[in-house]
A and B are shown apart, each in its own frame.
Chain A
Amino acid sequence: MASDGAGYLGGGGRPNGLFSWIFSTDHKRIGILYLVSILSFFVVGVSLGFLMRLELISHGPTIMEASTYNAFFTLHGVVMLFLFIIPATPSVFGNFFLPIMIGANDVSFPRLNLLSWWFYMAGAALALATLALGPADTGWTFYAPYSLRTGTYVSLAVFAVFVLGLSSILTGINFVVTVHRLRAPGMGFFRLPLFVWALYATAWIQIVATPILGVNLLLVIAERVFGIGVFDPARGGDPILYQHLFWIYSHPAVYIMILPGMGIISEIIPVFARKVIFGYRAIAYSSLGIAGVGSLVWGHHMFVSGSSYTAGVIFSFFTFLVAIPSAIKVFNWVATLYKGSIVLATPFIFALAFIFLFSIGGLTGLILGALSVNVHLHDTYFVVSHFHYIKFGGAGFAFFAGLHYWLPKMTGRMYNAKVANWSCLISFLGFNLLFFPMLILGIEGMPRRYFDYLPQYSTLQTVSIAGSWVLVAGLIVMFANLLKGSLRGPRAVHNPWGGATLEWRLPSPPGKENFEKILEVTKGPYDFRGLR
Chain B
Amino acid sequence: MNETVEKITYHRDYAGAKLGMWLFLLTELGLFFGPLLLYVMHAIRHPEAFHAAAMGLDKNIGLINTLILLTSSLTAALSVASIRRGKGELTLIFIFVTVALGGIFLVNKYFEWMGKIAHGIYPGGEAFAALPPGEAVFYGLYFFATGLHGLHVIAGMLALAIAAAFTATGTVNKRDFVKLENAALYWHLVDVIWIFLFPFFYLIS
Direct contact of A and B (CB under 8 A): yes
Question: Cβ of B140 and Cβ of A105 under 8 Å apart?
Answer: no
Q: A219 CA to B140 CA in the complex, in Å?
A: 10
Question: Cβ of A176 and Cβ of B123 under 8 Å apart?
Answer: no
Stretch at the interface among A222-230, A403-411, A462-470: A222-230
Count residues on chain B whose CB falls below 8 Å from chain A CBs. 46
Give B51-95 as 1s and 0s: 1 = Cβ < 8 Å from A's Cβ atoms: 000000000000000000000000000000000000000000000
Q: Which residues 1-55 of B have a CB within 8 angstroms of A?
A: 1-2, 5, 8-10, 13, 15-16, 19-20, 23-24, 26-35, 37-38, 41-42, 45-46, 49
Q: Which residues 112-165 of B have a CB within 8 angstroms of A?
A: 122-124, 131-137, 139-141, 143-144, 148
With both chains docked as a complex, state the minimum distance between the C-beta of A115 and any C-beta of chain B, in angstroms: 13
Question: Cβ of B20 and Cβ of A173 under 8 Å apart?
Answer: yes
Question: Cβ of B16 and Cβ of A180 under 8 Å apart?
Answer: yes
Question: Cβ of B30 and Cβ of A208 under 8 Å apart?
Answer: yes
Q: A125 CA to B158 CA in the complex, in Å?
A: 28
Question: Cβ of A238 and Cβ of B23 under 8 Å apart?
Answer: no
Give A209-249 as 1s and 0s: 1 = Cβ < 8 Å from B's Cβ atoms: 11110111011001000111110001111100100110000
Give A94-131 as 1s and 0s: 1 = Cβ < 8 Å from B's Cβ atoms: 00000000001110111010000000000000000000
**Cross-chain contact of B143 among A112, A228, A234 (Cβ < 8 A):** A228
Question: Cβ of B136 and Cβ of A235 under 8 Å apart?
Answer: yes
Using A180-B16, A181-B13, A215-B32 as known contacts, say yes or no to A226 and B124 having CB atoms under 8 A apart. yes
With both chains docked as a complex, state the minimum distance between the C-beta of B7 and any C-beta of chain A, in angstroms: 11
Question: Cβ of B34 and Cβ of A212 under 8 Å apart?
Answer: yes
Q: A210 CA to B34 CA in the complex, in Å?
A: 11
Q: A503 CA to B20 CA in the complex, in Å?
A: 25
Q: A226 CA to B143 CA in the complex, in Å?
A: 10
Chain B, residue nearest A216 (CB) = B34
**Cross-chain contact of A182 among B2, B9, B26, B137 (Cβ < 8 A):** B9
Question: Cβ of B123 and Cβ of A110 under 8 Å apart?
Answer: no
Cβ of A32 within 8 Å of any chain B Cβ, yes or no, is no
Chain A, residue nearest B1 (CB) = A513
Cβ of A9 within 8 Å of any chain B Cβ, yes or no, is no
Cβ of A276 within 8 Å of any chain B Cβ, yes or no, is no
Q: A174 CA to B131 CA in the complex, in Å?
A: 46
**Cross-chain contact of B27 among A169, A181, A229 (Cβ < 8 A):** A169
Residues of A within 8 A of B46 (CB): 236
**Cross-chain contact of B13 among A108, A176, A208, A218 (Cβ < 8 A):** A108
Residues of A within 8 A of B32 (CB): 215
With both chains docked as a complex, state the minimum distance between the C-beta of B74 and any C-beta of chain A, in angstroms: 28
Q: A210 CA to B29 CA in the complex, in Å?
A: 11
Cβ of A207 within 8 Å of any chain B Cβ, yes or no, is yes
Using A106-B9, A236-B133 as known contacts, say yes or no to A212 and B33 having CB atoms under 8 A apart. yes
**Cross-chain contact of A229 among B19, B20, B34, B140 (Cβ < 8 A):** B140
Q: A109 CA to B144 CA in the complex, in Å?
A: 32
Using A177-B19, A211-B31, A235-B137 as known contacts, say yes or no to A104 and B9 having CB atoms under 8 A apart. yes
Question: Cβ of A181 and Cβ of B42 under 8 Å apart?
Answer: no
Residues of A within 8 A of B5 (CB): 105, 513
**Cross-chain contact of A236 among B9, B123, B136 (Cβ < 8 A):** B136
With both chains docked as a complex, state the minimum distance between the C-beta of B123 and any C-beta of chain A, in angstroms: 4
Q: A108 CA to B122 CA in the complex, in Å?
A: 44
Residues of A within 8 A of B132 (CB): 236
Q: A177 CA to B26 CA in the complex, in Å?
A: 14
Question: Cβ of A108 and Cβ of B10 under 8 Å apart?
Answer: yes
With both chains docked as a complex, state the minimum distance between the C-beta of B116 and any C-beta of chain A, in angstroms: 13
Question: Cβ of A227 and Cβ of B123 under 8 Å apart?
Answer: yes
Using A226-B124, A245-B38 as known contacts, say yes or no to A238 and B45 having CB atoms under 8 A apart. yes
Chain B, residue nearest A513 (CB) = B5
With both chains docked as a complex, state the minimum distance between the C-beta of A418 and any C-beta of chain B, in angstroms: 41
Q: A244 CA to B40 CA in the complex, in Å?
A: 14
Which of A112, A177, A209, A234: most chain B Cβ within 10 A? A177
**Cross-chain contact of B124 among A174, A227, A230 (Cβ < 8 A):** A227
Question: Cβ of A237 and Cβ of B137 under 8 Å apart?
Answer: yes
Chain A, residue nearest B45 (CB) = A238
With both chains docked as a complex, state the minimum distance between the C-beta of B131 and any C-beta of chain A, in angstroms: 8
Chain B, residue nearest A218 (CB) = B148
With both chains docked as a complex, state the minimum distance between the C-beta of A454 and any C-beta of chain B, in angstroms: 40
Chain B, residue nearest A245 (CB) = B34
Question: Cβ of A177 and Cβ of B20 under 8 Å apart?
Answer: yes
Question: Cβ of A228 and Cβ of B10 under 8 Å apart?
Answer: no
Which of A110, A174, A222: most chain B Cβ within 10 A? A222
Q: A105 CA to B2 CA in the complex, in Å?
A: 11
Q: A108 CA to B42 CA in the complex, in Å?
A: 41
Q: Which residues 177-212 of A have a CB within 8 angstroms of B?
A: 177, 180-182, 207-212
Using A181-B16, A219-B35, A245-B38 as known contacts, say yes or no to A211 and B148 having CB atoms under 8 A apart. no
Listed A/B pairs (18) with beta-carbon separation below 8 Å = A108-B13, A112-B20, A174-B20, A182-B16, A207-B23, A210-B27, A211-B29, A211-B31, A215-B34, A222-B140, A226-B124, A228-B137, A230-B140, A236-B45, A237-B133, A237-B137, A238-B45, A245-B37
Given contacts A182-B13, A210-B30, A215-B35, 20 further A-B contacts (CB under 8 A): A108-B10, A112-B20, A169-B24, A173-B27, A176-B23, A177-B20, A181-B19, A215-B32, A219-B35, A222-B144, A227-B124, A228-B123, A228-B143, A229-B140, A230-B137, A230-B144, A235-B136, A235-B137, A237-B140, A241-B42
Binding site for A on B (CB under 8 A): 1-2, 5, 8-10, 13, 15-16, 19-20, 23-24, 26-35, 37-38, 41-42, 45-46, 49, 122-124, 131-137, 139-141, 143-144, 148
The 4 A-B pairs with the shortest beta carbon distances in the complex, nearest first, are A236-B133, A228-B140, A211-B30, A215-B34
